[in-house]
Structure 1
Amino acid sequence: MVNTKRLRSESFYNFHENNDRKRFLPSTTNDNFTQFENLANELIYDIFDYLDFYHIYLSFFNLNFRFRSLLIDSTLPLNINLFLMSKTTFNQYNEDIIKPNQQRIDIFRVTNYYMFDKNTFLFSQMISLQTLILETVRSVQMKDIIQQLISLPNLSSLTISTINAVENIDFIYKRIFRLTSLRYCKLSLSRKFPKHVSPLTLNEYSPIEHLNIDHGIGFDELSTLLLYLPQLRHLSTCIWHKTDFILKPPCAVLNNLTYVSLKLYGCVTFNDLELFLVNYCTSIQFLCISGDKEFLNANRWKRLISSSLTNLQTFDIKCEIRFADNTAIKQEMKNFNSLFWIERQWFFECRAYSTKFYDEILFYSMNPFRRKEYRLSQGKSNKNRFQTNFNSVHHLTIEDNNGINESRYCFPHATMLTLAYKVSINDITIVNNLQRILSLKQIQILEILSDHICPLKMCQLLSYMPNVHTLKFRSMSFDGYGKKRFEENQLFRLISKINLIKSIHFYGKCTLQNLEIFLKLFPNLQYIETSVELQQIQLVLQYLLNQTNTNARHLKLLCFSCDGKESHYISKLIKSRLLPCDCKTMYDDQRLRLYIWW
């Protein structure tokens, strides 16, 4: 989306014209350096375009009167990105910038929307809003949000995800379809698995061109939605259950629809998929399918593509097959190597995996590989002659050490790395082998799933990944190392000074000793997600929320995995004022998580 800069207000310039113009023109010191505050306003605004507005606010709002005027007297569009910050910081930012400038906001993003009350943001007053992104919204907030959006004449892009189940999803669809300027819509609305889905009734056509429904939906629901999306070009969704799909007239072939991506779960059948594609998607050029063994049928795909999907240029399929019959899989692989597929330059690979809980075969398209995720293991595969660099992959999962050692592939753009439970980070060759297949300096999210992780070995690994901001792991073992000895280690001290980690997800039960080490090793921590024994919760919270605890000075948000009883106990602690900080809580009863923000 291209944003056109608006003209500065005349009053803003008149104010500066009455002052000494020399202080706004570039000047040099005796050392031939230009001072930033002497740059022209136009040039400063151009520099601000490259910075997050919140960082601009922190740096310049209280610097002097001139820079404050640059921020609040301008009529330029505002891009507001509310990432994790403390309650006090947000309240000040909201009063100084957001509330007085609602009419200037054209992009508004909130990553932790559940932390805010119903009336914190008045979207109906953001008359210039073009892009709205709300993540982790509480379901009870949805109705009010959607109703406010009706009055926004310029809203063209909408992304909403909820943190718990939405009951009346029909209402959400109806209101969104009434947004007259909406072109892009992505919805990830948590919902409970329905026994029966009531039919949708819509009365208005929508101008949406790009629709991504990232929550479960049935073919019957989807077919109803498509009847009111005549301009749709791009469709991506999850079909999660069988609903005895019966095609109801009028069936509308969507002539503008060229891209379809479907994730198929549960008991969805090939019959239902074929019925849907033949009646709605005959103009598509790109088809992406993710499913199970039901869709590993080369001859049926060949007939469907030849008869009904004649415009198809790209066929991308991935099938995950557990407890598979290897003989049947080998036969299907032969069928996918016939002349029909070779002529179209559509090639496939089959790889066997052994996970902690089951054996699995993964069948997927190659040449090129287009997926953003890839699993690497020692498992047998058919020889891939076409590709060694997987440029599309951003998340690489490594199942075992031998998978790294034997890999012929490279993942130059990977930014998230998962080391599965079989991967030992104690292997002295692991760093060299990892560097051979990816750039460790690019990794931003690291997940380690093996048990009994030695913290020093983890520090050694982190020393090669200076840009990791999120760390996920399941255990920590101090066998042979006492806490004090570990903290005095030279590598511990080095990592504590150079790492950028702001978020930790600790999957095991966390002790006070663990938390003390986390905060010393990762002094920039803002978010911790873990679980704590009930008898330790009060002690843990008193330690983490103590404002004199300098190790926790950046900490702003906690997430505890807990049941309703534990959640009630923590909420009672907070209300009783036994904790040294004013906190706000939100309990997700679907995923059993309690969030504490201060």
Structure 2
Amino acid sequence: MNENKRHQCSTTDGNKMKKFRCTSYEKHSVTHFEDLANELILEVFDNLDTYQIYQSFFHLNIRFQNLCTHANLSIQVGISSVSKTTFQRYYNDFIAPNKHRIQTLHLSNPFIIDFFVSLSEDITRCSQLQTLTLCNIEYGCRETVLAAAAYLPNLSSLSICVSSQSDKITIYKLIFQLPILKYCKMTFQDQGRDSLKLLPIPINSSSIIERLVISDNYDFCDIDTILSYVPRIRYLSVRSQNLLVMRDILGCLVIFNDLTHMSIITNCLSPISTEEFVKKHSHRINVLHVSSGWNSTCTQTWENSILSYIPYLDASELNHSASLFYNRMMEIHESTYNYPISRVLSAYQRFFTHEPMSKEYLHEIFCSIQPHRDKVFKFVPDFNMTTCQCRKEPDCNSIKHIIINSTAALPNCSKYFPKITELTLHDKAIIQRKPYLMDDLRRILPLVQLTKLTMNNIFYELDIFINILQLTPNLHTVTWISIKNTPKDLLSLQESKAYQLVSKQNQLCPRVQYISLGPSDRSLDATVHYLLSKINDATLHLFLLRIRGASPHWIKCWKDKIESHEVLYDYSTKVIGSSFYLWWGD
């Protein structure tokens, strides 16, 4: 199989090299990019983002302007980090004349949506649109987009983030009415607030959705309602993001006879509702895995009842407090369901192995040893890389993102991950290994390559952040979640050698374009004033600011300040939920 793949790749590469040599020898030696033939330049463009093409080539000359708008070039609009002035120019020169050719549209900037959906703009002009992503969209506008999307004849993939103000029932109705949608991913911010009891059971559903990924907290009654709307479903994933207490969680993996897969991770399920669901679908269930934190002494009768409905089950597993199986299913959930429709439609060579578990967990894990999308590696408590066959020889060259849930597991790692570009630290006990953390990180990954850093639940260890920043000159995105306290020794930290060095060589802040801040009782006003200061050289490229959890009074005061003091000239403001957005020009 590998030989065939290599032969196909070498043949393709050989044809491209012949084409390039033919062009070179027939005309002249190519020493400049502009000397390449148009067809070769278009091949290069196919591997670039549309905004990169516009920014780099559109204004060179007439020839490159024509190539940038060539009919064979697919247009994918996914820009979010750009100033108001720059985007307005990009929109007028490139997007507006070519809306009918846009195939992919990613809208995460709350202001850019107005260029596609407003009183003067209609998203149905994007008649070739195939993939649409909606995030940070204000209440009402999201429903308008979904209603108009029913008239997009090629829309097959949709990803949407739904705010707490939206009506879930309306959102579901609009999505299930999209005529050719095959892949849909929905993320609800306010999870578990509303059930789907008010969503009527359809008589005849015409939805052709095959893959449905939902981030919310539902019970089996809601799952049944969803299934009634998607008769062609092949993969359904329902997972709540706000699950904290293990004993309340139930994980359920179901495979029907027609190979339809369902993965459900929630705390809304009960033994009664689970039994009712299994009873209703007993004639369809082929494989059933259930893992929960329920008291096993109280559920033996329930287990026997469940199995009595499906006597011809090919594989089953009902276990309790099985955290290992739960973690495995989470990994299966991530690798199986969270990838875009474009990959679903492609064929991949896959190689599999199986992992026998201990007697405590009477089942086996069947997993890919070369997963096509497994680019994340996690360090968890009590994890030993040598005890798991599926992880015994990880493909270190394919891993791009390391998540450290337990810094105590780092000394046990004997591997080096040379291609890492993203690091997530998620360990409240990180302070216990602070003296060794930098040595541990240097031993397993190249810090100089990092471009993204996330610190989650690292409450006030600012010196750890400074030490990491000192060795990561290429960082362009930093996310720090749950900063609860300001370090008491902040003054001494500022006087330290590490801080002074970072202050001189840091390239992150002078290039920062977008900042999102949570509420602060002490420093919010001073921080915003600093960021918007005209004489602030550290934020010359900043053009988008978000304040989360802002009060109406605070928003009004700052709107008045910006307008009366002429802090900014070409700017726009929006309020979405409790978030205040400010976008301005160069």
TM-score w.r.t. the length of structure 1 is 0.70
Partner of 1:188: 187
Asked whether the equivalents of residues 234 and 259 of structure 2 are also in contact (C-alpha less than 8 Å), the reply is yes
Say whether 1:550 aligns with 2:551: no
Match of 2:579 in 1: 593
Task: Determine whether 1:222 maps to 2:242.
Answer: no
Match of 1:347 among 348, 357, 370: 357
How far 1:255 sits from its partner (Å)? 5.2
| CA distance 1:257–1:553, shift in 2 (3 Å) | farther
Cα–Cα, structure 1 residues 413 and 346, in superposed 2: closer, same or farther, change >3 Å? farther
Tell me, which stretches of 5 or more residues in structure 2 are unaligned? 1-22, 243-254, 324-353
CA gap of 1:418–1:536, structure 2 versus 1, over 3 A, is closer
Residue from 425, 429, 454 that aligns with 1:446: 454
Amino acid of the residue matched to residue 226 of structure 1?
L
- 1:60 is matched with which residue? 57
Distance verdict in 2 for CA 1:377–1:142, change over 3 Å:
same
Query: 142-151 vs 311-320, which deviates more?
Result: 311-320
Shift of residue 222 of structure 1? 2.6
Are 2:517 and 2:548, in contact at CA under 8 Å, matched by a contact in 1? yes
1:493 aligns with 2:504: yes
CA shift in 2, pair 1:298/1:87, >3 Å:
farther
Shift in Å at residue 163 of structure 1?
3.5
Distance 2:571 2:278 in 1: 51
How far apart are the structure 2 equivalents of 1:349 and 1:423?
33
Number of the residue aligned with 1:427: 434
Local SS of the residue matching 1:85? coil
- Residue by residue over 1:220-263, the C-alpha shift from the partner in whole angstroms, topping out at 9 and shown as x without a partner, is 2331221232211000013799xxxxxxxxxxx97545221111
**Residues 468-547 of structure 1 aligned to structure 2 (within 5 Å):** 468-473=475-480, 474=483, 477=487, 479=490, 481=492, 483=494, 489-494=500-505, 496-497=506-507, 501=508, 522-531=509-518, 537=524, 539-547=526-534
Distance of aligned partners of 1:393 and 1:40 in 2 relative to their CA distance in 1, 3 Å threshold: closer
CA contact (8 A) 1:166 1:191 kept: no
SS at match of 1:136: coil
Contact 2:287–2:316 (CA under 8 A) maintained in structure 1: yes
Deviation, 1:104, is 0.8
1:78 and 2:75 aligned:
yes
| Farther-moved stretch of structure 1 (73-82 vs 484-493) | 484-493
How far apart are residue 214 of structure 1 and its match? 1.6
Gaps of 5+ in 1: 1-24, 242-252, 322-343, 351-362, 502-521
CA contact (8 A) 2:355 2:364 kept: no
Matched to 2:441, the amino acid is L
Which residue pairs with 1:377 in the alignment? 381
Higher relative contact order (CA 8 A, sep 6+): 2
Distance in 2 (alpha carbons) for counterparts of 1:349 and 1:97: 62
CA contact (8 A) 1:27 1:34 kept: no
Residue 48, structure 1, aligned to residue 45, structure 2: yes
Label 1:444 to 1:105 Cα distance change in 2 as closer, same or farther (>3 A): same
Are the aligned partners of 1:401 and 1:424 in contact in 2 as well (CA < 8 Å)?
no
Distance 1:395 1:72, change over 3 A: closer
> Which is worse superposed, 438-447 or 564-573?
438-447
Could you tell me how far 1:55 is from its partner in structure 2? 0.6
CA distance in 1, matches of 2:359, 2:377: 15
* Shift of residue 431, structure 1, vs aligned partner: 2.7
1:37 — aligned with what?
34
The number of equivalent residue pairs is 499
Q: Shift in Å at residue 294 of structure 1?
A: 6.3
Distance 1:373 1:309 in 2: 38
User: 580-589 vs 364-373, which deviates more?
Assistant: 364-373
Partner of 2:96: 99
Paired with 2:419 and 2:363, the residues of 1 have a C-alpha distance of 20
Structure 1 residues 350-396: Cα deviation after superposition (integer angstroms, max 9, x where no partner)? 9xxxxxxxxxxxx99967599967462369x9994544456799775
Secondary structure of 2:215's counterpart equals strand
Task: Tell me the secondary structure at the aligned position of residue 422 of structure 1.
Answer: helix
Secondary structure of 1:82 counterpart: coil
Tell me which of 456, 460, 466 is aligned to 2:467. 460
What is the alpha-carbon distance in structure 1 between the residues aligned to residue 30 and residue 415 of structure 2? 48
Amino acid at match of 1:200: P
TM-score by length of 2: 0.71
1:60 is displaced (CA, Å) by 0.9
Aligned ranges 1:359-438 → 2 under 5 Å: 374=378, 376-377=380-381, 384=387, 386=389, 387-388=391-392, 398=404, 401-406=407-412, 415-424=422-431, 427-436=434-443
Aligned to 2:170: 171
Distance 1:404 1:577, change over 3 A: same
Give the number of the structure whose residues are more often helix, by fraction: 2
> 2:403, 2:424 within 8 Å by CA — same for their partners in 1?
yes
Q: Is the 8 A contact 2:381 2:405 kept in 1?
A: yes
Note the C-alpha offset of 1:154. Answer: 1.3
| Deviation by residue 1:435-457 (Cα, 9 ceiling, x = unmatched) | 555665467333164454354x5
Find the counterpart in structure 2 of residue 6 from structure 1: none
Is the 2:546–2:580 Cα contact (8 Å) retained in structure 1?
yes
The alignment's C-alpha RMSD in Å is 4.5
Q: Amino acid of the residue matched to residue 146 of structure 2?
A: I
Would you say the 8 A contact 1:233–1:259 is kept in 2? yes
Work out the CA distance in 1 between the residues paired with 2:451 and 2:284.
39
Change (3 A) 1:533 1:170: closer
User: d(CA) in 2 for partners of 1:542 and 1:278?
Assistant: 61
Percent sequence identity over aligned pairs: 24
C-alpha separation in 2, matches of 1:114 and 1:239: 29
Counterpart Cα distance in 2 of 1:102 and 1:112? 18
Q: What is the letter of the counterpart of residue 446 of structure 1?
A: T
Change (3 A) 1:375 1:433: closer
1:45-68 superposed Cα distances (whole Å, 9 cap, x missing partner): 000011111011001111111111
Secondary structure of 1:159's aligned partner: strand
1:553 to 1:563, Cα distance in 2 relative to 1, 3 A: closer
Conserved in 2, the CA contact under 8 Å of 1:86 and 1:597? yes
For residue 560 of structure 1, report the CA deviation from its aligned partner.
2.2
Q: Deviations over 1:274-304 (max 9, x none)?
A: 3324434765677676754469979966875
Matches within 5 A, 1:109-188: 109-113=106-110, 116-117=113-114, 118-119=117-118, 122-167=122-167, 169-188=168-187
